[in-house]
C-alpha cells in the first residue's frame, strides 16, 4: 500500500477550527512535470506532422518562400491568379504610413502558392516512385531512362531538409492491381511443375472459366478499392490472415529472435535487462520524434514506414469472432514477469527516462522479492497461448472489473512486456543443440511465461542472454528486426557494463518501487487457465525446432560466382526438400512490398520449372556439371525475376487472396479461387534482414550479427525455414516442423540442407 499512499497529492479533514488541507508538494510537482512532458510530446508530434507534410521543403525555407511571394505580391510582381486574387481582395487591409496594404491577403497568397509548389514536388516524387524498371537493372547495364529517372529522384529528394521517418509517406505510390490475364499466366506457370498432366489440364480449365466468368466483376471491385484505399491488400490481410484466425497465435503466428550469440555479455540478468530496456526506450523516443532514418533501397528509394507506428504501446485484444489491435499514444511503464508474478515498472520519473542503473535497481527489487504468486497468477499468460475464442470468453467473464481489470490494463497498456526467465540459455560450438533449446525458449517458452498478445516480449534469461517473441499482426519481421538490431548494437557499442558486470551510471534520485499486480482469480477462472495451459503445452511439445549453423561458406562464395545469395539458398532448399520428401512442393518465400504505401508482403513461389529442372539434373550423375551450372544460373535468374515482380506489385497470391475476399463479400462461389486458397505451403521460407542500421560494419565485426530468428511450420506436414546470411561466411537456418508428422523431421532436413549447400559448391567449383 506504500505506492497508494504516496500517490495521494493532498488530503483534508474537518476540525473545530475549520477545513484543514494538507498538500503534498512533491506529488503535485510530479503531476506538473508529467503534464509538461505530455504537452511537449503533443507539440513534438504537431511539429513532426508539419515537417513531414511540407517535405522536402524545410520550415525555414517555407517561411522564406512565403515572405518572398507575399512581398512580390505587394509590389505587383507576382502573377495574377483570378480566383485566388478574388479571395485576396476580400481580405481586410491595414493602413501603414498613410498606405493601405493588404498584408493578410498577400501572406495568404504566398501560403497558397507555396503550398501548391510543395504539393507539386510531392506529386512529382510520387510519379517518379511509380517507375519500377530500375529494380531489374540493379546488377546489370543501366538504361538511359533509368539514369535520367535517378537524376530527377536525387534532385527532388535533396531539395531541402533531411527526411524524417515518415517524410515520404505522402509521396509513395499505391500498390497497383495486376491484370487478371497476368495473374492467371503466372499462376499456371507456378503450379505446372507440381501437377501431372491430367491435374494441370483440370486447373487450366478452372482458371480459364474463372478468367472468362466472375473474374472481371471481382476485378472491378478490387480496382475501385485500390482507388479509394491507401493499399488494396493490407487491411484485409491484417484482418483475415491474422486477426480473424481463431487458433493459438503461439507457434502458429508469433515469431522469435535470438541474441548475438558470438559475443560474451554480462552474466547478470538484471543488468542485461536494464541496458536492453533502456536501449528500446531510446529507440521508442527516436520513433516518437521521427528521428529514425527511413530505410532506402540502394540508398535512393524509400520504403514505407507505416508499420513502425504500432511497435510500442500496442496489444492484441481477443474477440469471439475477430481480435482487435489497440495502440496507445504513450505509456510510462513496462510490464515484467518473474517466477509467476507480474509487475508494473515505471520507466519515467520527473519527466525523464530512467537511467540503465535505475532500471537495474528496480528489476533487482523484483528478483529479490520473495512474495508468492496469487492463486492462478503463475500460469495466467497461458490464456494468451490458447485458442482465441476461449481467451476472449475468459477475458470477458473474469477480467472485466475489479483488481483483475486494473492489473490486465497495466499489462495491455505497457510499452512492452519483459520476462525475466529463471533458466539460463546459451550457445556453444561444442554443443550446437544448445541453440535449439535457446530458440525453442524464445518461440514459446513454457507456454505461460510470455504475454503473446503484446507487440513483443523481451526475454532475458537467468545468465543474461536475451531474445524476443513478437506478435505478427501489427507488422512484419523486418520492423521488429530493425528494433532488435538497434537494441543489440546500442548495448554492445554504447551502453556496455562495468568490470563487475553491472550497468554504468548512477541513480539520480529516489525512484518509485515496482508495483506487484494484484489478482482475484476465482476457482472457475483457474480451471480455464489450466485448460489453456494444457492446450499450450501440447502445442509446444509438438514443435520440432532445429538450428543449422552453416559456416563452411556464405555469401562471399555465392557472390564470387555472381549468384544472388537469396536465390542460391532458395535453390539449395529446393534440392534439400526434394531429397527429404522425394517430391516437389508449393514453396512460399516472403518478399516485401514496402515500395508502396502501407505495403507489407507478397509471396515468391520459389518452386519453378527451372528450379525443378536444376534439382533433377544435379541429382543425376550422368548430367555434366557444366550443364548443372547453366541450369542453376537459369533457375536463380528466374527466381530473381519473380522476386522483383513480387516487390513491384506484380505478384500472384495477394491479388488472388483479395479476389477471394471480394467473392465472399458478394457471395459468389468460385471453384478456382477456393482451390487456390486451400493449397498447402509445405515449404514456407523467409530471409531475416540485417544491417538496417548503420551502427556497425559486419565486415569488420561479423561477431556482432544476431543468430536471427524463426517461426513455426505453416503446414502440419511441412517445414518452416527462416535463414539469416550472417556476414560473409556464415548462414543460420532455423528449421521447424511438427513432431507428430510422420513425413517431416527438422534435424533430417537440416542435414539435407547441409549436403545440398555442399553439393552445389562442389558443382560450381568443378564446372
Is residue 465 classed exposed, middle or buried when 0-12, 13-18 and 19+ CB atoms within 10 A define those classes? buried
Q: Is the predicted pLDDT of residue 362 greater than 70, yes or no?
A: yes
Assigned fold of 257-541: Chloramphenicol Acetyltransferase (3.30.559)
What is the model's pLDDT at position 108? Answer: 75
Q: Is the predicted pLDDT of residue 98 greater than 50, yes or no?
A: no
Number of C-beta neighbours around residue 621 at 10 A = 6
What is the model's pLDDT at position 246? Answer: 95
Instruction: Tell me whether residue 472 is one of the annotated catalytic residues.
Output: yes
Q: Is the predicted pLDDT of residue 47 greater than 70, yes or no?
A: no
- Residues in the chain, overall count: 767
- The secondary structure of 651-718 as a DSSP string is -SHHHHHHHHHHHHHTT---HHHHHHHT---SEEEEEPP---SSS--TTT-GGGS---EEE--SSTTS
> What average pLDDT does the segment 325-347 reach?
96
pLDDT band at 15 (very low <50, low <70, confident <90, very high): low
> What average pLDDT does the segment 68-96 reach?
66
Give me the catalytic one of 265, 333, 349, 472: 472
pLDDT band at 13 (very low <50, low <70, confident <90, very high): low
Residue bearing cell 542453376: 632
> What average pLDDT does the segment 332-343 reach?
97
What is the model's pLDDT at position 163? Answer: 85
Extract the C-alpha cell encoding 145: 531512362
Q: Is the predicted pLDDT of residue 239 greater than 70, yes or no?
A: yes
Upper half-sphere CA count for residue 185 (Cβ side, 13 Å): 7
> What average pLDDT does the segment 9-35 reach?
56
Extract the C-alpha cell encoding 32: 506538473
Distance CA 101, CA 684 (A): 70
Tens-digit pLDDT profile for residues 620-667: 999 999 999 999 999 999 999 999 999 999 999 999 999 999 999 999
Residue 130 main-chain phi, psi, to 5 deg: -75, -15
pLDDT band at 185 (very low <50, low <70, confident <90, very high): very high
User: Same CATH topology for 181-240+545-766 and 257-541?
Assistant: yes
What is the model's pLDDT at position 4? Answer: 39
> What average pLDDT does the segment 370-375 reach?
94
What ranges in 75-133 are assigned the alpha helix state H? Answer: 82-89, 103-129
Residue 747 pairs with which residues in a beta bridge? none
Local structure of residue 90 (DSSP, 8 states): T
Residue 19 main-chain phi, psi, to 5 deg: -90, 125
Distance CA 115, CA 99 (A): 29
Distance CA 620, CA 617 (A): 5
What is the model's pLDDT at position 16? Answer: 57
Parse the chain into domains and list their residue ranges: 1-52, 56-158, 181-240+545-766, 257-541
What is the model's pLDDT at position 229? Answer: 92
- On whether the CB atoms of residues 181 and 320 are closer than 8 A, the answer is no
What is the model's pLDDT at position 44? Answer: 63
Mean pLDDT check: name the lowest of 86-90, 114-118, 241-245. 86-90
Tens-digit pLDDT profile for residues 101-119: 566 676 777 777 777 877 8
Residue bearing cell 499505391: 174
> What average pLDDT does the segment 219-237 reach?
94
* Per-residue exposure over 410-439, b if at least 16 CB sit within 10 Å of its own CB, e if not: bbbbbbbbbbbbeeebebeeeeeebbbbbb
Q: Is the predicted pLDDT of residue 3 greater than 70, yes or no?
A: no
Tell me the CATH number for domain 181-240+545-766: 3.30.559.10
What is the model's pLDDT at position 89? Answer: 65
pLDDT band at 35 (very low <50, low <70, confident <90, very high): low
> What average pLDDT does the segment 383-389 reach?
97
Largest CA distance in the chain: 109
> What average pLDDT does the segment 697-708 reach?
78
> What average pLDDT does the segment 426-453 reach?
92
> What average pLDDT does the segment 231-239 reach?
95
Distance CA 459, CA 541 (A): 20
Q: Characterize the bridge pairing of strands 333-338 and 324-327.
A: unpaired
Q: Is the predicted pLDDT of residue 143 greater than 70, yes or no?
A: yes
Q: Over pLDDT 90: what percentage of the chain? A: 69
Tens-digit pLDDT profile for residues 145-159: 989 988 888 887 656
Distance CA 482, CA 52 (A): 22
What is the model's pLDDT at position 158? Answer: 59
What is the model's pLDDT at position 46? Answer: 67
What is the model's pLDDT at position 73? Answer: 65
Most confident of 125-139, 291-305, 462-476, 497-511: 462-476
What is the model's pLDDT at position 8? Answer: 47
Tens-digit pLDDT profile for residues 538-568: 999 999 999 999 999 999 999 999 999 999 9
395 Cβ contact list (under 8 Å, min separation 6): 317, 318, 383, 408
379 Cβ contact list (under 8 Å, min separation 6): 340, 448, 529, 530, 532, 533
What is the model's pLDDT at position 701? Answer: 74
Amino acid at each position: 500500500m506504500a505506492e497508494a499512499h504516496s500517490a495521494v497529492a493532498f488530503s483534508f479533514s474537518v476540525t473545530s477550527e475549520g477545513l484543514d488541507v494538507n498538500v503534498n508538494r512533491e506529488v503535485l510537482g510530479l503531476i506538473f512535470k508529467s503534464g509538461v512532458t505530455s504537452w511537449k510530446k503533443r507539440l513534438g508530434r504537431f511539429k513532426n506532422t508539419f515537417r513531414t507534410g511540407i517535405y522536402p521543403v524545410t520550415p525555414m525555407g517555407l517561411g522564406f518562400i512565403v515572405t518572398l511571394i507575399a512581398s512580390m505580391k505587394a509590389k505587383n510582381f507576382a502573377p495574377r491568379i483570378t480566383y485566388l486574387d478574388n479571395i485576396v481582395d476580400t481580405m481586410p487591409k491595414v493602413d501603414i504610413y498613410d498606405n493601405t496594404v493588404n498584408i493578410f491577403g498577400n501572406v495568404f497568397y504566398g501560403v497558397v502558392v507555396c503550398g501548391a509548389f510543395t504539393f507539386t514536388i510531392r506529386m512529382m516524387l510520387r510519379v517518379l516512385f511509380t517507375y519500377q524498371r530500375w529494380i531489374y537493372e540493379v546488377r546489370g547495364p543501366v538504361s538511359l531512362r533509368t539514369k535520367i529517372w535517378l537524376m530527377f529522384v536525387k534532385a527532388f529528394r535533396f531539395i531541402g531538409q533531411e527526411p524524417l521517418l515518415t517524410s515520404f509517406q505522402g509521396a509513395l505510390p499505391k500498390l497497383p492491381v495486376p491484370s487478371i490475364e497476368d495473374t492467371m499466366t503466372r499462376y499456371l506457370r507456378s503450379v505446372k511443375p507440381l501437377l501431372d498432366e491430367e491435374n494441370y489440364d483440370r486447373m487450366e480449365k478452372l482458371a480459364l472459366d474463372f478468367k472468362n466468368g466472375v473474374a472481371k466483376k471481382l476485378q472491378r471491385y478490387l480496382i475501385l478499392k485500390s482507388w479509394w484505399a491507401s493499399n488494396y491488400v493490407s487491411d484485409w490481410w491484417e484482418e483475415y490472415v491474422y486477426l480473424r484466425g481463431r487458433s493459438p497465435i503461439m507457434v502458429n503466428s508469433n515469431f522469435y529472435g535470438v541474441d548475438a550469440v558470438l559475443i560474451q555479455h554480462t552474466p547478470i540478468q538484471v543488468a542485461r535487462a536494464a541496458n536492453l530496456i533502456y536501449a528500446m526506450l531510446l529507440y521508442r523516443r527516436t520513433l516518437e520524434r521521427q528521428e529514425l532514418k527511413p530505410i532506402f533501397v540502394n540508398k535512393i528509394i524509400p520504403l514505407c514506414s507505416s508499420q513502425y507506428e504500432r511497435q510500442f504501446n500496442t496489444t492484441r485484444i481477443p474477440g469471439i469472432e475477430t481480435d482487435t489491435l489497440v495502440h496507445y499514444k504513450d505509456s510510462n511503464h513496462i510490464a515484467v514477469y518473474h517466477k509467476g508474478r507480474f509487475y508494473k515498472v515505471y520507466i519515467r520519473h520527473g519527466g525523464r527516462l530512467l537511467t540503465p542503473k535505475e532500471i537495474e535497481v528496480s528489476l533487482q527489487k523484483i528478483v529479490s522479492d520473495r512474495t508468492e504468486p496469487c492463486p492462478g497468477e503463475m500460469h495466467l499468460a497461458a490464456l494468451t497461448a490458447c485458442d482465441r475464442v476461449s481467451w476472449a470468453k475468459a477475458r470477458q467473464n473474469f477480467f472485466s472489473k475489479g483488481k483483475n481489470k486494473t492489473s490486465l490494463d497495466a499489462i495491455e497498456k505497457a510499452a512492452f512486456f519483459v520476462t525475466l526467465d529463471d533458466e539460463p540459455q546459451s550457445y556453444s560450438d561444442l554443443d550446437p543443440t544448445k541453440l535449439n533449446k535457446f530458440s525453442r525458449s524464445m518461440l514459446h517458452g513454457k507456454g505461460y511465461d510470455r504475454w503473446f498478445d503484446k507487440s513483443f516480449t523481451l526475454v532475458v534469461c537467468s545468465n543474461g542472454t536475451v531474445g524476443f517473441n513478437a506478435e505478427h499482426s501489427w507488422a512484419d519481421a523486418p520492423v521488429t528486426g530493425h528494433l532488435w538490431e538497434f537494441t543489440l548494437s546500442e548495448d554492445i557499442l554504447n551502453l556496455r557494463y562495468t568490470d563487475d558486470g553491472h550497468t554504468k551510471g548512477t541513480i539520480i534520485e529516489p525512484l518509485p518501487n515496482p508495483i506487484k499486480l494484484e489478482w482475484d482469480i476465482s476457482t472457475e477462472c483457474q480451471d480455464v487457465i489450466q485448460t489453456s495451459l494444457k492446450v499450450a503445452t501440447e502445442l509446444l511439445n509438438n514443435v520440432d525446432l532445429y538450428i543449422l549453423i552453416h559456416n563452411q561458406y556464405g555469401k562471399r562464395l555465392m557472390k564470387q560466382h555472381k549468384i544472388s545469395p537469396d536465390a542460391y539458398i532458395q535453390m539449395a532448399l529446393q534440392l534439400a526438400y526434394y531429397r527429404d520428401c522425394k517430391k516437389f512442393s508449393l514453396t512460399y518465400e516472403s518478399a516485401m512490398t514496402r515500395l508502396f504505401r502501407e505495403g507489407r508482403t507478397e509471396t515468391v513461389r520459389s518452386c519453378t520449372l527451372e528450379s525443378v529442372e536444376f534439382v533433377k539434373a544435379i541429382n543425376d550423375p550422368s548430367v555434366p556439371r557444366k550443364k548443372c551450372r547453366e541450369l542453376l544460373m537459369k533457375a536463380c535468374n528466374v527466381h530473381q525475376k519473380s522476386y522483383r515482380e513480387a516487390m513491384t506489385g506484380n505478384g500472384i497470391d495477394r491479388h488472388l487472396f483479395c479476389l477471394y475476399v471480394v467473392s465472399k463479400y458478394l457471395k459468389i462461389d468460385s471453384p478456382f479461387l477456393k482451390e487456390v486458397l486451400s493449397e498447402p505451403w509445405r515449404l514456407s521460407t523467409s530471409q531475416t534482414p540485417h544491417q538496417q542500421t548503420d551502427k556497425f560494419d559486419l565486415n569488420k565485426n561479423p561477431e556482432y550479427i544476431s543468430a536471427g530468428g524463426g517461426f513455426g511450420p505453416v503446414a502440419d506436414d511441412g517445414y518452416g525455414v527462416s535463414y539469416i546470411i550472417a556476414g560473409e561466411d556464415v548462414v543460420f537456418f532455423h528449421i521447424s516442423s511438427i513432431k507428430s508428422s510422420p513425413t517431416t523431421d527438422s534435424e533430417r532436413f537440416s542435414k539435407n540442407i547441409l549436403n545440398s549447400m555442399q553439393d552445389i559448391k562442389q558443382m560450381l567449383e568443378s564446372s
